[in-house]
Amino acid sequence: MRTTVGIIGGGPAGLLLARLLHRAGIDCVVLESRDRAYVERRQRAGILEQGTVDVLRACGASERLDREGLTHHGIELRFEGRAHRVDLPGATGGKSVTVYAQTEIVKDLIALQLADPAGPPLLFGAEALAIEKPDSAAPVVRFRHEGREQTLTCDFVAGCDGFHGIARRTVPADRIRTFERAYPYSWLGVLADVPPSCKELIYARHQRGFALHSMRSPRVSRLYLQVPNDTDTADWSDERIWDELATRFAVDGEWALERGPITATSLTPMRSFVQEPMRHGRLFLAGDAAHIVPPTGAKGLNLAVSDVVTLARALAHHHQTGSTELLDGYSATCLRRVWQAERFSYFMTETLHRRPDQSPFEDRLQLAQLDRIATSPTASAELAENYVGLPLS
């Protein structure tokens, strides 16, 4: 097989890149190692920045998002029994965020790609095994599909295969720098068939650890609890989960956490990671393949989107003019935004979670930080600006 852009990974980064390239008249092929049902079931992100919604709208992938997405104009911070609302549009010239699950975006993009007979091929069960000669003019992706090893010869390869993929590990060690931080806690996530007990997301800092109340729809809640890294989810009965959530969300005044049947649980370790540069020859890394943020800032999916927008623009510019200028600037352009998201995600994580060895001094600093956000319009605006997303450069 031969194509212009070989895309490894059919997550949000790979699928959106395929859509953007197809609309720019550039051939591509998407190789996804898992089957369609698995990819469409994977529970992940839920918060879309305004810029992400705009991109999906501009490429004709927002029909259901426009119908079912929930626009949120604020988030709530809870600490020491206090509740403080951060007003998003007020501090950002009118910007807000949208609650719409990553799995739904993935379903929408897959359906669009498969419905178009002229659309780029999307191969499920196609595992990339190696990228050969990434720094030559014609890199080759070796992959296994339907029990057979095959090759895809490309002009460019887009590594959109996530943190555990092969693309970032293809780059020789002496050509990269990696930056990493592991946190001494994880998130226990649950999906529950119960209407959310709040209109907007609640980020709670509690002496027993962080908790987050999010949602998927007016009838389905998504909640997270900070737990130790060695947690066995079998130790967490539904009752224990609801009791712990109720304790951590407790607030002065009238408020109750509604309980309901838990339909899924997950455990997510918290990590910050960046691999630089995001390009090696004709291999371009995008999304989680190049960087990971802890989910507290709701930035991972949004960064994957901004990477592929930048990459699609650079490939289209090359396709139209022959110039490599934008491709040459790809890594630096993305990394500027990536590091802002790393900084914000780290800040949100460290401000809201309790490390097992945290000192009383550090407890007081966290509370002072939260009090500052609650009382200073400048501090609140700084949070709001980052939460709704920095402009795409």
**Residues 20 to 59 in contact with ligand PHB, rule: CB under 6 A:** 45-47
302 lies in the binding site for ligand RFL (CB under 6 A): yes
Instruction: Specify the 3-state DSSP secondary structure of 299.
Output: coil
Catalytic residue check, 295: yes
Tokens representing residue 78 in the block? 């809870």
Instruction: Specify the 3-state DSSP secondary structure of 187.
Output: strand
x/- string (CB under 6 A) for ligand RFL, residues 328-367?
----------------------------------------
Asked if 82 contacts 251 with a C-beta cutoff of 8 angstroms, the reply is yes
The partner in contact with residue 61, picked from ligand PHB, ligand RFL, none with C-beta cut-offs of 5 to 8 angstroms by kind, is: none
Q: How far is the CB of 291 from ligand PHB (least distance, A)?
A: 16
Is 82 or 124 the residue whose CB approaches ligand RFL more closely? Answer: 124
298 lies in the binding site for ligand PHB (CB under 6 A): yes
What single-letter DSSP state applies at residue 173?
A: G
DSSP codes, 226-272? EE-TT--GGG--HHHHHHHHHHHH--SSS-------EEEEEEEEEEE
- Distances 321 to 259, 270, 283, 314 between C-alpha atoms, Å: 58, 42, 20, 11
The partner in contact with residue 222, picked from ligand PHB, ligand RFL, none with C-beta cut-offs of 5 to 8 angstroms by kind, is: ligand PHB
Q: Which residues contact 276 (CB under 8 A, 6 or more apart)?
A: 176, 177, 178, 179, 331, 335
Q: How many residues are recorded in the chain?
A: 393
**Residues 100 to 139 in contact with ligand RFL, rule: CB under 6 A:** 102, 127-128
300 lies in the binding site for ligand RFL (CB under 6 A): yes
The partner in contact with residue 288, picked from ligand PHB, ligand RFL, none with C-beta cut-offs of 5 to 8 angstroms by kind, is: ligand RFL
Task: Write phi, then psi, for 12 (nearest 5 degrees).
Answer: -60, -40
**Residues 159 to 198 in contact with ligand RFL, rule: CB under 6 A:** 160-162, 165-166, 187, 189
304 lies in the binding site for ligand RFL (CB under 6 A): yes
Piece of the chain touching ligand RFL by CB under 6 A; list 147-155, 201-209, 292-300, 326-334? 292-300
Q: Where does this chain bind ligand PHB (CB under 6 A)?
A: 45-47, 201, 214, 222, 295-296, 298
